[in-house]
Amino acid sequence: KAAAAPRQGGARAIAREAPGNGLILRAIISQGLELARSLNTDEAWTRLDMRSFLQSVADDHADVGARVSLEDNVQGASPVVVPARPLCLRRCLDNLITNACIYGGSARIGLAQEGGNVVVTVADEGPGIPEDMLERVFEPYFRLDSSRNPSSGGIGLGLAIARNMALLNNGEIRLRNRA
């Protein structure tokens, strides 16, 4: 009579027992770690030209087939320079643009100046978010469409990570539906 091998705990045991869940489990672990990393950074501040930066972000998304455009509404041709942590800011924008493309078909990145602030917008043509959920979607693991399979999309951390990355740049994210 063969003795049963002791069960190993953790992710490998779960993935072995349910091979179809391995990718989902990896996604959950990976995004959970990304959320934890989004709470602080030792990335150095640098002076960043937002025009060039946003064009680069838009080009990167377009290169992989996303429908992305950039609308520069700042007067004049001089650089729009801000202090920023570029990797954190890129991650923030990547999450917002990816969501816009998935749920709204495309993303329009806007650059504007309002008073002394530089404002970056990401707009889409999606159905919008119920008004009472506009803040809730930033909660970790919250998803509007709870029936979606995490292997075909996120697990509800993208907007939480985006908000944390904006905060690490002394910025903020506000959602609103089109009028």
Instruction: Please say if the pLDDT value at position 89 is more than 60.
Output: yes
Instruction: Give 77 or 10, the one with higher predicted confidence.
Output: 77
pLDDT tens-digit readout, 16-73: 444 556 666 776 777 777 777 777 889 999 999 999 999 999 999 999 999 999 999 9
Encoded tokens for 30: 């990976």
Instruction: DSSP letter for 133, please.
Output: G
- Whole-angstrom distance, CA of residue 26 vs CA of residue 51: 36
Question: What are the strands, taking DSSP E only, across the chain?
Answer: 46-49, 68-72, 81-84, 107-114, 117-123
Residue 3 has pLDDT above 70, yes or no: no
Segment 117-132 mean pLDDT: 95
Mean residue pLDDT of the chain comes to 84
What's the gap between Cα 62 and its chain centre? 16
Please tell me the pTM assigned to this model: 0.80
Give pLDDT, residue 146: 60
pLDDT single digits (tens) 131-169: 999 999 999 988 887 645 454 467 888 999 999 999 999
- Please give the structure tokens belonging to residue 21: 């869940």
Higher pLDDT, 10 or 89: 89
Other Cβ atoms less than 10 A from the Cβ of 139: the count is 14
* Crossing angle for the helix pair 22-37 and 10-17, to the nearest 10 degrees: 150
Task: Please list, in sequence order, all residues whose beta carbon lies within 8 angstroms of the beta carbon of residue 103, skipping any fewer than 6 positions away.
Answer: 124, 126, 127
